[in-house]
Structures are given as C-alpha cells and as structure tokens.
Amino acid sequence: MKMDPNFSRVLHVDLNTGKSKALQIEDRHMHIGGSGLAAVLYDRYGIDDAPADDPRQPLIFAIGPLTGFYPLMSKVVCGFRSPYTDEWSESHAGGRLALSIRFAGYDALMITGKAEKLSALVVGSRSCEIENVTYLRGKDVFATGKFLRRFGKKNAGHRSAIRIGQAGERGVAYACINVDSFRHFGRMGSGAAMGFKNLKGIVVSGDGSFDLPEGKAYAEMMKDIYKDITETGKMKKYHDLGTPQNLIPLNELQALPWNNLQKTQDEGVEGISGETFAEQLLLRQAACAGCPVGCIHIGLLRQQFASEHEFLYKQVSYDYEPIFAQGSMLGITNAADVLALLDETEKLGLDCMSAGVALAWAAEATEKGYISQEETIVELKFGEMKGFLEGLKFIASGENAFYQALSRGSMAAAKLYGGEDFACVLGQEMAGYATGEVFFVASAYGFRHSHLDTGGYAFDQNNTEKNADKAIEFMLEDERGRIYINCMMGCLFARGTYGPEKLKEALTAAGFQNIADNLEEAGKYIQKLRWQLKCRTGFDVDAVKIPKRFTEVVTWKGEIDTGYMDEVAQRYASAIKEMAKCGE
Amino acid sequence: MKRLEAVRMEQCIGCHSCSLACARLVHKKLSWNTAGIRISSAGGLTTGFEAQVCVACDPAPCAEVCPTDALKQRKGGGVIVKHDKCIKCGKCAEACPVDAIYYEPESDLPYLCIHCGRCVPFCPHNCIELREIPTYEEE
Ligand code: SF4
Ligand code: SF4
Ligand code: SF4
C-alpha cells in the first residue's frame, strides 16, 4: 500500500445499509489526523441538533499521520456525541488498535447508522464485514473478547478487538469501550455511543504493509527518537511503578481525594500505594503496540471461591486514576479490594473513574441521610468493598429508579435525591487531583473535562502565587501543545520528546512535509474547530458550575481561595468564547 | 554462524518494536507483518507473548520445496532469500513447520528472518539475541 500525504483515508461504514465506502478526506495539512480529523469528520457528517443517541450520529476512531512510524505514536481518538453531556467529545486509548487501523490501511473508521441486529464490525486491509452477533447480547467484556477473537484469527497478534459490555448495551452515560482487555476509551460514555448503534464490537486486522518513504532520513530519525525514549531513562518511571507512583506524593501533598473528597489525606494510602501494588500484586507489564515503554501494569487478583482451598485468579490492569476512583475515593485501603472492584467494572464495561466517583457520592448521600438502603439495595459504606461491588452491577443493570438515575451521573441523581453540593462533578465525575483552583477550573471547563486537556494540576503544584493571568496563559499554551500531540495521536507521556520542532522533523522524514510546514496554522484551526463543535452541540460556557464541595477542599496550600477560582473561571470562560467565537 | 533466538519471551511486553525494526531496516516496509519476527499473544493479551521466527533448520524444509532457489540452504541453518528468483508459488510458507514465513499477498512474496540481528537493539526487554550456533548442531 502507499500513503498519500494530502488525504486521509477513512472507512465509512453505514450500519443501516450494511455498506461501506473508503473516503478520501482532502486538506490533510489542515486537519492533520487524530483529534483534528475526527473534528472535521463530525463537522461534515454529524447532526448538531439531533441528540447523542440518534443513529445518524457518527462514531469515529482516528489515528495520526505518524502512527506506526515512530515509538509512542500508539493512541487512537474516539470522537462521538457524548451520552453524558450530549456534546461533541473525545476519548483516547492505546492497546493494539492504533497499529491495527494503520496497517488495515486507514486513518480513521467512521460508523453511522444503527444495525438491525446486534453486530460486530470486522475490518482488515482487504476485508470489511458486518457480522450478526446476537448471541453476545448481555455478554460481559471478557466473554465478548473471547468470541470476537474468532474473527481475523489468521492475523492473531496483529489485530485489535474493541467491545462493550452490559453498560454500553444499556446506554449507561459513562459506559466505556474496552480495547484489547486492558485499555479503554474510558470517559464521556463512548460505550453507550457504540451501544446506540447496536454495535457490540469491532475487530481490526492490521494485515497490510506500506512502502517506506524514499531515502535514509526516516530510518535515521526513527533511530534517534527511539534512542531518546529508551536510553535517557526519562520513561523509566512509567514502566517501573507506573502512574500509581503518584499516590503517596499526592497524599503527602494533601491532594488525593478520599471518601468523596471529604478529605485529601489519609494514612491508609500505604495499603493502595504504587509500591504496595508492585510488591504484592504486580504480575507483569505490557505495552501498547509500537511503544517500547510498557506502562500497562497488570495485577494478579486471587480469589477464594469456595470454603476449601479453591482459588481462581484474574489479571486486572491498574493505574493511578482507577486506584483513586475505586480506592481512596471510596475509602478503600486494601489493594486487592481495589482490584476486585476494577475487575467487576471491567467486566460490565463501565468507566472506572466515573463509576467510582458516582458510588462515592452515593456513600456520602447515604451517610447524610439523603438516600437509604431502599434506594441503594445494598449498604454503600466507605471502606467496604462488597457493597460497592454490588453497586457497580446495579448501575450497569439499571436495577431500580435510583441506579437508573446514577447511571446518568452523580449530579443527575443528586438533582432527584438531593446532595448536589457534594457531587464531585467537573463536567463529568472528577479526576484524582485535589490540587486546587486551576485544576478544578480546567476540568470543569476543559474540552473533554479531563485532567488531560491541560496540566492544570501541574500548574497548581508548581505555583504558589495566585496569578490568574499566568494561569490562563498556561492553560491556553498547554492546550495548544497537547493538540499537536492529540492530532498525531502520540501518547502524552512522550510530549517531552515530541515538541513542535521535533514533530516537524519527524513529519518531514516520514513524508509529510506538507503537514510540517503548516503545523502552527493547523493547530489554531483545529483548536477553534473543536471548541466550535462543542459549543454548537450544546456546551454553554456561562452555565458551568463548580459544586460547593470543591470550595471546601483543604490542600497543602490551605483552603481553596474562591475569589481566585472565580477569577480564573471567568477568564477561562471568555478565552474559550474567544477561541470558539461561540454565537458567531 | 549465528542465528536469532527468541530466548526470553517471558520478559516480552508485546511492543512489536522488533517486528517494526525488521520490516523497516531489512525489508524496507512500514509493517508488522512483513517482518522476520512477529509477536502474538497466545490467547488474548492475558496469556503473555510468543514470537514467530525462523528456527534455522538444517536441512531447511522451505528451501527443499522451493523450485527456483529463491530460498537456499544457509550454512549452519536457515535460508538465504532472493526475492528476484521467487516465482510466487507459496510452497515455502506451507512447508515451514513453525509458521515462520509470512507470505505477503499484495507483493506475493515470502518474508522471513535472515538472522542478521538488526532487530536485537530495538528490544527494550532483552528478549531476543543473535547467538552463535553451537558446533554440535553444525555438521
Ligand atoms: S523458514 Fe521455517 S522451514 Fe525455513 S529454515 Fe526457517 S524455520 Fe525452517
Ligand atoms: S534477525 Fe534480522 S531478519 Fe531476523 S527478525 Fe531480526 S532483523 Fe529481521
Ligand atoms: S521488541 Fe522485545 S519486548 Fe518488544 S515485542 Fe519484540 S521481543 Fe517483545
């Protein structure tokens, strides 16, 4: 196969008709790929005034121009109308999906319509089938993965199987898409977006190959970048303890949310620290395809299933955020308990962060008497794993009216049952950083309400003075830098290696001089388009609220300064309006 | 004579750096299929990884069935590959007992390991090695 630097090649699958088209999307120097390509596709195929569950809405999976060419260019963006906010949104994931899409010969897959029967899409460089999989209705994520592996067997190892569980099929607003067992399009409800289409899974076989660009430049550049990543030791921490290394430092800083953010520090952290996980439960590390770092940490969960010495064992991936959401946030201080919850979450196909934070709200609402066991069916109590384990299942099954509300988010439930003040929602259920004003604002207003939109948490940690100008400048600048990476679909861990200048060199060596020459221009265009899409699909910058709980947080800097937080919020809101030219 | 051996696959993290390096440096392709070494998981990601790579047979069944000497016995084991002599019969891939030959459908050519060792420095976990073939194995 040959790559054309001027076009993105997109496979458009219409589930209504069962037919597909390979599209050539022009002006690659403007949309680049990844987030930019997804935005351009939504701009053309999305329907702004129809809701997220309208079958016509596109579900998009895009890679970047450098996917497959360089290490850590290993991510895929999923672009979709969020069942949680109804707005245009993105979620990013690794695994083997990125290389599989690349070697299937596409820059993106776009799915529109709704299959008549529960289906799986099976794609390769010379194949495209929609398979009837009604027998997978209600099957959990692991069982589904096993069945899906019957497709594309010839290409074992060089394919990717993504799928949804019960939560996605039932339309839980924070259902995720599982990627190759251990990675996820976690946040904002992509799993439900897939469920709306009656699409249980997608198998992509990366069974094609490309001719290399002429000359030696590419191989040389690859060698340099590879060396920089593997020999300078800067990636070691991601492989060693991995992201959970942050639990102890954040707890020491008084920035780790505990018990639904009622506190930011607890001695119990020792039980769920990265060190404890590594020493007691770590089974092995794995990598996304095309990444030599290997940051995926897989723990061994050994469970007794009968009174005799009868055990089963499971492999469960863990990271900082999942340990926060289903550990400290729920008052759980035992690492194996956290793995047990994560395992269940994985099976059901829920986003572990949102599910954990939603249950934390329910536990506090129970403590405060807003709800009782009449609503929660089981006792939801901080520190006690078993109740939460049942709670997860009830969210996925929509067991009663209470859990149906909770499956739309903790704020949706709080609006019905009370307790809005302590619903830890910043656009969506919070991420694990109680670092202060800038992070709270960045998440509440951020494009995908993620800790990854900008490094607001890092700004809080590195700056003691309260300077709103500096904070805004940082957020805007940092977002722009991340947009480049998110269009290349590089891993954010590699943003130190892939600065704008390096990206230009890497693009040129791989045959994308046109993108390299236009990078700044394209960055501005994409940043604006993304915000416009979010505003066009319902985001009201002026309606954003930061719940009271966030004003009560005490960190190492002392109490939250609400005046400062308001100022940063207002300034960021106007900056967003300026970027999006909302209302124009 | 040396041969590539996947000696420590228990340490493999499934990054595919080896395959990508082989495709890039030896076969001049951007691919993970047209590579001498290919990594797969035995049954989903939960079971660890295995390598599909030429085990350097002597005599080599793939060379024996090749009608045109596109694959020729290499001294010490394995084969020497000459794509320009290949008539695209596909017999070699069928003959290999360990599925080490990737038969690429677009160019209609076999891709397999030539035991050059260029992938070795790209393995971050020290799983693969270019090793001297022990004399007791050589005749
Ligand atoms: S390619 Fe297969 S048959 Fe040929 S030498 Fe290698 S292992 Fe033996
Ligand atoms: S030894 Fe050479 S031919 Fe064999 S897999 Fe490694 S790079 Fe490819
Ligand atoms: S380079 Fe090493 S760790 Fe990576 S897939 Fe190959 S053998 Fe495994």
Domain span at residue A89 reads: 8-205
Closest residue on chain A to B124 (Cα): A292
- Whether residue A351 lies inside any domain: the answer is yes
The answer to whether B117 and B2 have CB atoms below 8 angstroms apart is: yes
> Of A390, A418, A437, which residue sits at a domain end?
A390
Shortest Cα distance from B101 to chain A (angstroms)? 13
How far apart are the CA of A523 and the centre of ligand 3, in A? 34
> Of A188, A205, A222, which residue sits at a domain end?
A205
The answer to whether A15 and A198 have CB atoms below 8 angstroms apart is: yes
Low-confidence spans in chain A with pLDDT less than 70: 582-584
- Whether residue A38 lies inside any domain: the answer is yes
Could you tell me if A170 and A238 lie in one domain?
no
How far apart are the CA of B56 and the centre of ligand 1, in A? 6
Segment 66-125 of chain A within 8 Å of chain B by CB: 68-69, 71, 99, 103
Shortest Cα distance from A41 to chain B (angstroms)? 26
- Please report, for the domain that includes residue A14, its CATH number: 3.60.9.10
3-state SS class at A334: coil
In chain A, residues with a C-beta closer than 8 Å to the C-beta of B125 are: 294
- Residues 6 or more apart from A555 whose CB is under 8 A from it? A253, A254, A255, A264, A434, A435, A436, A460
CB contact under 8 A, B25 and A219: yes
Residue count of chain A:
584
Please give the tally of structural domains in chain A. Answer: 3
Ligand 3 atom at minimal distance to the Cα of residue A292: 4
Task: Considering only the beta carbons, identify the residue of A71, A126, A206 that sits closest to B32.
Answer: A206
pLDDT of residue A583: 46
- Whether residue A421 lies inside any domain: the answer is no
Q: Is the pTM of this model over 0.80?
A: yes
- For residue B70, which ligand has an atom nearest its CA? 1
Check if B22 has its Cβ closer than 6 Å to any atom of ligand 3.
no
- Residue matched to tokens 């709800």: A371
CA A28 vs CA A20, A65, A517: distances in Å: 22, 9, 12
Mutation site for B-interface testing, chosen from A3, A147, A209 by largest number of B Cβ within 10 Å = A209
> Of A371, A390, A409, which residue sits at a domain end?
A390
Strand arrangement, sheet containing A282-286: A282-286, A296-306, A310-318
Could you tell me if A114 and A200 lie in one domain?
yes
Q: Which amino acid is at A228?
A: D
* pLDDT single digits (tens) B7-64: 999 999 999 999 999 999 999 999 999 999 999 986 655 668 999 999 999 999 999 9
Q: CB under 8 Å, gap of 24 or more: what pairs does A18-27 form? A: A18/A115, A18/A130, A20/A128, A22/A106, A23/A110, A25/A107
- Please report, for the domain that includes residue A476, its CATH number: 1.10.599.10
- Whether residue A174 lies inside any domain: the answer is yes
Q: How far is CA A213 from the centre of its chain?
A: 33
* pLDDT single digits (tens) B121-131: 999 999 999 99
CB atoms inside a 10 Å sphere around CB A310: 9
For residue A278, give both structure tokens. Answer: 């590594």
Could you tell me if A276 and A312 lie in one domain?
yes
CA atoms within 13 A of residue A71's CA, in its CB half-sphere:
29
Check if B84 contacts A (Cβ < 8 Å). no
- Whether residue A404 lies inside any domain: the answer is no
The answer to whether A72 and A488 have CB atoms below 8 angstroms apart is: no
A27 burial (CB, 10 Å; 0-12 / 13-18 / 19+) is middle
- Whether residue A414 lies inside any domain: the answer is no
Check if B20 contacts A (Cβ < 8 Å). yes
* Average per-residue pLDDT for chain B: 93
- Please report, for the domain that includes residue B43, its CATH number: 3.30.70.20
Please give the tally of structural domains in chain B. Answer: 1
- Whether residue A416 lies inside any domain: the answer is no
- Is beta strand A59-62 parallel, antiparallel or unpaired with respect to A76-81? antiparallel
Check if B34 contacts A (Cβ < 8 Å). yes
Domain span at residue B83 reads: 2-138
- Please report, for the domain that includes residue A293, its CATH number: 1.10.569.10
Could you tell me if A490 and A375 lie in one domain?
no
CB atoms inside a 10 Å sphere around CB A223: 15
Cα B101 to Cα B70: distance, rounded to the nearest angstrom:
13
Cα A208 to Cα A226: distance, rounded to the nearest angstrom:
23
Shortest Cα distance from B13 to chain A (angstroms)? 4
Check if A565 contacts B (Cβ < 8 Å). no
* Number of CB pairs, chain A paired with chain B, less than 8 A apart: 94
Q: Is the peptide bond before B59 cis (omega within 30 degrees of 0)?
A: yes
Could you tell me if A250 and A174 lie in one domain?
no
CB atoms inside a 10 Å sphere around CB B68: 12
Check if B93 has its Cβ closer than 6 Å to any atom of ligand 1.
no
pLDDT of residue A584: 46
CA atoms within 13 A of residue A358's CA, in its CB half-sphere:
31
